[in-house]
Amino acid sequence: MKYYSLNKKAPNVSFKDAVIKGLAPDKGLYFPETISPLIDNFIKSIHNYTDQEIGYEVIKQFIGNEIPKAALKQIITETLSFDFPLVDIENNIKTLELFHGPTMAFKDVGARFMARCLGYLNVDSKKKVTVLVATSGDTGGAVANGFLGVKNVEVIILYPSKKVSNVQEKQLTTLGKNIKALEVDGTFDDCQTMVKKAFLDPSITDQMQLTSANSINVARWLPQMFYFFLAYKQLKDKDSKLVFSVPSGNYGNICAGMMAKKLGLPIHGFIAATNANDIVPKFLQTGDYQPKPSVQTISNAMDVGDPSNFIRILEIYGNDFEILKNDLHSYSFTDDETRKAMLHMYEKFKYISDPHGAVGYLGCKLYQKENQDANCVFLETAHPVKFLDVVEPVIEKSIDFPPQIQSVIHKTKEATFISTYLELKSFLLDK
């Protein structure tokens, strides 16, 4: 399998090079040259396969022969080592819980897969790879956990000061070893801008090998296809009009769902449910894509004003706006609407949702006003314990710390505070 840059001004590369480089030299995101649909019989008999077997069938074409079959199966087994239950909420609305992994967020899947791929691909190299990543919350913890102790890999995580939850901050600042955290005086967009600038700075890249563990990296993005297939496996009525409502920030998750549909999964459509950062909803209304500075909300992982993966979505749909509009709906919701949805689910269905999942639920409800026959699944992307300061005042109930959180919550934070790109550059070159 070869990967090309979406800016079309860089050489095509192997899976290994796409993973290690992260971003193409022309600043473009990598995209697979070919996407071959899975055989119909696999989809029809998906309930007969284990989760790990499904993961292997879904991802193998994108790896090619660069990781041997046995090694790839082991990587997938270690990646999909926890459950992804589909939970009934109300008539024709279910949630897919993606928070049963080590850091209790959906990003555990992509981070664990990428860490193991990179560890395999770089195991015999004498050159250290530095994973440089920006996080709006959950990416940092998942990447820190996934890469902890991986040979020849150092991880540097940038996160916006006072804009992630206490649990999220502890998960990315307390592990030590090969994991380092930089607390940035700014927003997630500021963090992401610094990271992108570093990748394009020859004074840095001539001295060290940088790669990204954000969803711009193909090894972080593509395995997110897994749980769309795992949700379908659990559906009792597989002939229903299946629609996924995805809480969307950097749009890697919903983009992976669209890849799953491209592989043949019978998904009717997608809802990009978002907060006040409404770039995509406005784009679908006007046809004019206008990034803007992000706005801080209670669903902080979606506080993104310039979503990186939207260019991949456009590529999947051949940059045809009308075809994309047939598959994608997008709605923006306020913090007050989000809180009301959280309270409604708790009082009526005894379900405790985090704010991102609540936005996904709102997307289902709004879509079903005009599509009553749709069978909606919203992604519950993080455990509510990661957002105690938001969830507990809404439902007026204390949430106990699961074991995954108890293991880090009382540890001491270790982070370096920076304000400018020059400080990041100095940190990288002085390591």
pLDDT tens-digit series, residues 259-306: 999 999 999 999 999 999 999 999 999 999 999 988 989 998 898 888
- Could you please report the per-residue DSSP string of 62-90? HHTTSS-HHHHHHHHHHHT-S---EEEEE
- Please answer whether residues 130 and 199 qualify as being in contact, where contact means their C-beta atoms are separated by less than 8 angstroms: no
Of 310, 229, 236, give the one whose Cα is nearest residue 267: 229
**CATH code, domain with 313:** 3.40.50.1100
Mean residue pLDDT of the chain comes to 94
- Would you say residue 100 lies in a domain? yes
pLDDT at 114: 93
Percent of the chain exceeding pLDDT 90 equals 79
Q: Region 392-410: what's the mean pLDDT?
A: 91
- Please answer whether residues 139 and 109 qualify as being in contact, where contact means their C-beta atoms are separated by less than 8 angstroms: no
For 90-115, what is each residue's pLDDT tens digit? 999 999 999 999 999 999 999 999 99
User: Which token pair is 380?
Assistant: 């519950």
- Would you say residue 385 lies in a domain? yes
CA 287 – CA 290 distance, rounded (Å) = 10
Buried b (16+ CB within 10 A) or exposed e, 331-367: bbbebeebbebbebbbeeeebbbbbbbbbbbbbbbbb
pLDDT at 165: 85
- Please answer whether residues 143 and 156 qualify as being in contact, where contact means their C-beta atoms are separated by less than 8 angstroms: no
pTM of the model: 0.91
The yes-or-no verdict on residue 137 having pLDDT over 80 is no
Q: What is the dihedral of CA 248, 253, 255, 257, to 10 degrees?
A: -120
CA 160 – CA 163 distance, rounded (Å) = 6
Tell me the pLDDT band of 380, cut-offs 50, 70 and 90.
Answer: very high
Give the number of C-alpha atoms closer than 13 A to the C-alpha of residue 427, restricted to the C-beta side: 24
User: Considering 16, 21, 107, 261, which one is annotated as catalytic?
Assistant: 107
For 322-341, what is each residue's pLDDT tens digit? 999 999 999 999 999 999 99
**Residues whose CB falls within 8 Å of the CB of residue 96, separated by 6 or more in sequence, listed in order:** 84, 85, 86, 87, 227, 230, 231, 377, 378, 379, 380
Residue 107 is a catalytic residue: yes
- Would you say residue 267 lies in a domain? yes
The yes-or-no verdict on residue 124 having pLDDT over 80 is no
- Would you say residue 346 lies in a domain? yes
CA 380 – CA 100 distance, rounded (Å) = 11
For 409-431, what is each residue's pLDDT tens digit? 889 999 999 999 999 999 999 86
Residue located via tokens 């022969």: 65
pLDDT at 212: 84
CA 199 – CA 204 distance, rounded (Å) = 8
CA 212 – CA 110 distance, rounded (Å) = 12
pLDDT at 128: 87
Question: 177 vs 151, which has greater pLDDT?
Answer: 177
Tell me the pLDDT band of 126, cut-offs 50, 70 and 90.
Answer: confident
Give the number of C-alpha atoms closer than 13 A to the C-alpha of residue 357, restricted to the C-beta side: 32
8-22, 132-146, 250-264, 404-418: segment of lowest average pLDDT: 132-146
CA 430 – CA 158 distance, rounded (Å) = 17
Segment 321-326 long-range contacts (CB within 8 Å, at least 24 positions apart): 321/287, 324/284, 325/284, 326/269
For 180-227, what is each residue's pLDDT tens digit? 999 999 988 899 899 989 988 999 999 998 988 888 899 999 999 999
The yes-or-no verdict on residue 353 having pLDDT over 80 is yes
- Would you say residue 257 lies in a domain? yes
Domain total in the chain: 1
The yes-or-no verdict on residue 252 having pLDDT over 90 is yes
User: Which token pair is 86?
Assistant: 């589909």
User: Which token pair is 345?
Assistant: 């689910």
Q: Which domain holds residue 372?
A: 82-105+221-400
Strand order of the β-sheet with 93-97 is: 86-90, 93-97, 374-380, 241-247, 269-274, 328-332
User: Which token pair is 417?
Assistant: 């505070």
Tell me the pLDDT band of 238, cut-offs 50, 70 and 90.
Answer: confident
For 28-83, what is each residue's pLDDT tens digit? 999 999 999 999 999 999 999 999 999 999 999 999 999 999 999 999 999 999 99
Q: Please state whether 176 falls in left (phi above 0), alpha (psi between -120 and 50) or beta.
A: left
Tell me the pLDDT band of 6, cut-offs 50, 70 and 90.
Answer: very high
| Measured CA distances, 238 to 112, 222, 230, 234, 336 (Å) | 29, 23, 12, 9, 35
- Would you say residue 136 lies in a domain? no
pLDDT at 230: 98
